Structure 1
Amino acid sequence: MTLTTISPARHRSLGDHTWQDQAVCQSTEYNPVDPEIFFPEPDETAKITAAKSLCGQCPVRRTCLDAALEGCDTHGIRGGMTEEERAPLHQKLASRLDYSRVNATVAGRDVHLTKAERRAVVHAAYLHGLSEQRLAWLLKVTEEHAQKLYRETSRALRNRNLKKSPQATALSDTGGEHFGREGFGTAA
């Protein structure tokens, strides 16, 4: 099952940690935050509630959650979710297909992509007529590999267009007339 989303989130680039400066959990002189509240034991409900309350006010909560998922960070409260709440998301991450991430990549952003999103980038780049050199740059692969991806995409699209449902083929062969079992008679 593929999880498909279209979200308006601004996705962080690979290796970008500047978003952390905007996080509510960053302790400052005017906003002292105890980092320990983000690493509570399962029975410390007061710490969990306090941490989630801070996350609920955070302008980079989605980015924090994405960073935790993409970095396989399974400890503490991240993006407003506990370790247990993030566990199913970690399992589904490989099948994530977020078109906003695909569009950001095609536009030239260096975004962390799942396999499904990488396939969607190849498909979108092919349909938009981007060069193999551009695709290679977007996906950080060689031009030869980009050519191979385009050949596979071209072949897949051609085969998809050639496929017809068996029922449609049978109906066109019979002039639209549908024959049932009784229309064939009996064997002599």
Structure 2
Amino acid sequence: MHSTTSTVDGPRTLGDQTWQNQAACHTSPSGDPDLFFPEPDEMDRIRAAKTLCARCPVRRTCLDAALENGDRDGIRGGLTQEERDALHSKLAQRLDYARINTVLAGGDVHLSRAERRAVARDAYQAQIPADQLARLLKITKEHAQKLYRTAAREIRNRNTKPRTKSPRTAKAAPIAATKAPARTDLGTAA
């Protein structure tokens, strides 16, 4: 299996560009920077750049950096600008628990909105003081307290929400109603 992540443990820290020294485009003897900025109809150059990216040990880090920095030009992380467009629009919803754990351990990494909410929720559940959350997320203590109130409300609502079948599940049920057998092993995990 070919690794597409940096050899450094966890996500890159904010402002860290040292991963570029490991990039295949940087270490390749034929590393022509123009290769990564082809015109949309230059299919041979696009294929050549993607082939080089496929062998890159920091391909995922390169893609993350392009998305986090809003870089829409050229081929980055093995994807053309058109291929990255959908990822750019979904970046705010990215939920990577490696990033969340890195921040909770004191690391300084780029977080999406969803990841910031998850950090606040996890910190709240771990009873991390609001001033420490403020330092982790580089926000004011008042903002951290607001995030904790939101996390408490989300957790409370999640635990009190009545469980209902989704419409798709309800449609998939057999026409003849049959009672499901009682389960006595619900507390066990595989």
Q: Specify the TM-score bucket, using the shorter chain as the normaliser.
A: 0.7 to 0.9
User: Gapped runs of 5+ residues in structure 2?
Assistant: 165-190
Distance 1:165 1:89, change over 3 A: closer
What's the CA shift for 1:134? 1.3
Q: 2:85 aligns with which of 84, 87, 95?
A: 87
TM norm structure 1: 0.77
Deviates more, 1:110-119 or 1:143-152: 143-152
* One-letter amino acid of the structure 2 residue matched with residue 24 of structure 1: A
1:53 and 2:51 aligned: yes
Higher RCO (CA 8 Å, separation ≥ 6 residues) = 1
Q: State the distance in 1 between where 2:154 and 2:98 align.
A: 24
What is the aligned-residue identity percentage?
59
Distance 1:85 1:164, change over 3 A: closer
Q: Deviations over 1:128-154 (max 9, x none)?
A: 121112101111011121122112222
Partner of 1:21: 21
Partner of 1:182: none
Q: State the distance in 2 between where 1:159 and 1:39 align.
A: 49
- State the Cα RMSD in Å: 2.2
Structure 1 or 2, whichever has the larger Rg, is 1
What's the CA shift for 1:107? 1.4
Give secondary structure in 1 for the equivalent of 2:95: strand
Partner of 1:132: 130
* One-letter amino acid of the structure 2 residue matched with residue 99 of structure 1: Y
Q: Deviations over 1:70-114 (max 9, x none)?
A: 111110000001111111111111111112211111111111111
Q: State the distance in 2 between where 1:40 and 1:76 align.
A: 7
User: Gapped runs of 5+ residues in structure 1?
Assistant: 1-6, 167-188
- The answer as to whether partners of 2:95 and 2:112 remain within 8 angstroms in 1 is yes
State the aligned residue count: 159
Partner of 1:180: none
- The answer as to whether partners of 1:74 and 1:86 remain within 8 angstroms in 2 is yes
Q: State the distance in 1 between where 2:158 and 2:81 align.
A: 42
- The answer as to whether partners of 1:68 and 1:74 remain within 8 angstroms in 2 is yes
- The answer as to whether partners of 1:27 and 1:34 remain within 8 angstroms in 2 is no
- The answer as to whether partners of 1:133 and 1:143 remain within 8 angstroms in 2 is yes
Partner of 1:64: 62
TM norm structure 2: 0.76
- The answer as to whether partners of 1:97 and 1:114 remain within 8 angstroms in 2 is yes
Partner of 2:148: 150
- The answer as to whether partners of 1:25 and 1:55 remain within 8 angstroms in 2 is yes
